Structure 1
Amino acid sequence: MSSEFTLRQLEYFVAVLDAGSVTEAAKRSRISQAAASMAIAQLEKALGVDLFVRSRSKRLVPTAAGTALGGRARRILGEVAEIPGSVRGGWEELRGRVSLGCMIAISPRLMPRLLAETAARWPEIELEFVEGAAEELQRSVADGELDAAFVYSLQAVPGVDLVTIAESRPHIMLANGHPLATRPSLRFADLAEEDAVLFDVPPSAERVTSMFQAVGVEPRVRWRSVVAENIRGIVASGRAYSVTNVWEGMDENFRTAGVVLVPISDPLPSNSVVAAVPPGLRRPRRVDAIIGAAREIAAG
């Protein structure tokens, strides 16, 4: 078995991985279909594994080996692309593109201020972000598609390293004027007869439910929503309570929009806002600068 392969073969492999077919990958790469097929065949021969299988829909699906190689290949190609700029000092410069992921539950609390801070401090950094569920975003980090992703530590998955941004703790969100709103803290049992509205992007609702159940309480989940503004509105109307994570520098709008946030006195698992980053890699200075700015914002 030969172990020799080329960067070009890796490039065409990633193109097929993204396109789902050799034909489409060849078109995007502006090469012939025969050349793309040969590159994949040569790469499989060099590695001694099959990288794709054909599904019933005739779409090429990566094998376990192909999936594993995908993340490594993207990181390798990304680092190779950085070489010209790195040689000229670009690796240490605060300029260039930074691609972030952010959980939907975190994004409105962090991203508007992070975008403003980046523009004010480093106008030559091009900051882009996508929102999604924690597992999906971390998979994109591991695959080299994102430089970092902001998630909660309880939703971390294998295959990434974690950089702590801020300590976070669940609170009960209640309407101003609710009979329980003046309490210094609440137990889950205090809410057993109250209706709840929960944030419904997996696994958020499931984790909240499990916290209640861990102390023998079954929450009365009346509504679910994927829109934080809807949840705050429903809570502010007095129709239900919710559970939300709170950290020191959280935007005051989330504390004063007709609601109060009361600490929970029941034992809770440790949870933090973290930046999931590619494992074991030296990051460009611009990425660390953005992560540092997020830490400053989250710390208040």
Structure 2
Amino acid sequence: MELRQLEYFVAVAEEANFTRAAARVHISQSGVSAQIRALERELGAELIDRSGGTATLTTAGQAALTQARATLAAAGSVRQSVDDIAGLLRGSLRVGMVTACTVPQLFDALARFHSAHPGVELALQEGNSDRLVADVRAGELDIALVGVAARVPDGLESMVVIDERIVAAVPPQHPLAAQGEATLAQVCEHPIIALPPGTGIRAVFDRDCAGVGLAPTIALQATAPDAVADLAARGLGVAILSASMTTSYDDTLVAVELTDSHTAALLALVWRPRTNAALTELVSVATRSFNESF
């Protein structure tokens, strides 16, 4: 059994597709298939069901996946321990961020890190906050920038980079615009445009509404904050966003303060407590990048 066979197996399991897995590990599809066949012969069990349109794990494959990931992580730790002594950084880091949430400070940090440590491969993955946190806990991501309501997730290291309140964003001609502030009940009298469940802003809105006995009907959902804002600017409803998300829409939207919304909308970097040298360095670079901007 070879480490590369385990690497190819994990890639196929995570991609659910031999072609994508081959592209990920930078070899031919036939090479991936041949190595996984060899691994299956050695283990005496079929790991991947190839009969459908996607590559799915068999029961044996599901059992093997956890151990394969652990073995690869252990091998990486051995390599990293040697590199630490030599003062080198290499390997890979998987970085998650909220879908369509453009955060220049994070991009600056990644650029600085890559410039200083070109031997570390960086992979960026977007998703909603709940999914990203789960992936960090599972070890599928090394670090993620996520939106959360009121507090950072338990059991993870974290750095809060933004702490603000949600607002209702409406066009200047909307009845709420002239008020400057409104209650959640007043806002919920209008069609609501929001991010989907699993996002930090939505979690704050749902929590605050539940706290005052409201169960709002969401008229429109969009995964990107810009889409939520654009829909509201066209008069389709009231957008629920963080205050900072509305700043680039000063000409088309008015941010209305929600007087009974008291839950903080946090944007935070989260990572597992046990880190390797590359992740420790990335956290340090990111901390400097965010501190320079706020």
TM (normalized to structure 1)?
A: 0.69
1:229 aligns to what SS in structure 2?
helix
Distance change (3 Å), C-alpha of 1:172 and 1:293: farther
Instruction: Give per-residue Cα distances to partners, 1:122-175, cap 9 Å, x unaligned.
Output: 733565422112233334434444331111234966774333223232222222
On the 8 A contact 2:145/2:270 being kept in 1, the answer is yes
- Show the counterpart of 1:132: 127
Q: 1:176 aligns with which of 172, 177, 189?
A: 172
Query: Could you tell me how far apart the structure 1 residues matched to 2:267 and 2:132 are?
Result: 14
Match of 2:12 in 1: 19
Greater shift in the superposed pair: 233-242 or 276-285: 276-285
Identity %: 16
Deviations 1:183-219 (A, max 9, x none): 4543201213211111236456863345324312343
**Which of the residues 195, 200, 203 maps onto 1:199?**
195
Q: Counterpart of 2:141 in 1: which secondary structure?
A: coil
Match of 1:87 in 2: 85
C-alpha offsets along residues 94-134 of structure 1, whole Å, 9 cap, x if unaligned? x98654210115x22x1x44324654687335654221122
Distance 2:259 2:46 in 1: 51
Give the aligned partner of residue 256 of structure 1: 250
Task: Provide closer, same or farther for how the CA distance between residues 159 and 183 of structure 1 changes in structure 2, counting only shifts above 3 A.
Answer: same
Tell me, in whole angstroms, the C-alpha distance in 2 between the residues paired with 1:197 and 1:222. Answer: 6
Residue 99 of structure 2 aligns with an amino acid whose one-letter code is I
RMSD: 4.1
| Matched residue, 2:40 | 37
SS at match of 2:213: coil
Equivalents in 1 of 2:43, 2:157: separation in Å?
30
Distance in 1 of aligned mates of 2:36 and 2:222: 48
SS at match of 1:281: coil
2: CA distance, partners of 1:205 / 1:166 = 12
Q: Please list every run of 5 or more consecutive structure 2 residues that lacks an aligned counterpart in the other structure.
A: 23-28
- Structure 1 stretch 59-68 or stretch 159-168: which is displaced more? 59-68
TM value normalised by structure 2: 0.70
Does the CA-based 8 Å contact 1:173-1:244 persist in structure 2?
Answer: yes
Instruction: Letter of the 1:19 partner, please give it.
Output: V
Unpaired runs of 5+ residues, structure 1, are 1-7, 42-49
Q: CA deviation at 1:277?
A: 1.0
- How many residue pairs were aligned? 273
Contact 1:98 1:287 in 2 (8 A): no
Rounded to whole Å, the distance in 2 between the matches of 1:156 and 1:18 is 30
Matches within 5 A, 1:228-247: 228-246=225-243
2:270 to 251, 262, 276: 276
Q: Report the AA paired with residue 16 of structure 1.
A: F
Partner amino acid for 1:17?
A: V
Counterparts in 2 of 1:198 and 1:271: CA distance versus 1, 3 Å: closer
- In the alignment, the residues of structure 1 paired with residue 5 and residue 261 of structure 2 have an alpha-carbon distance, to the nearest angstrom, of 51
Residues 54 and 98 of structure 1: CA distance in aligned 2, closer, same or farther (over 3 Å): closer
Counterpart secondary structure, 1:123: helix
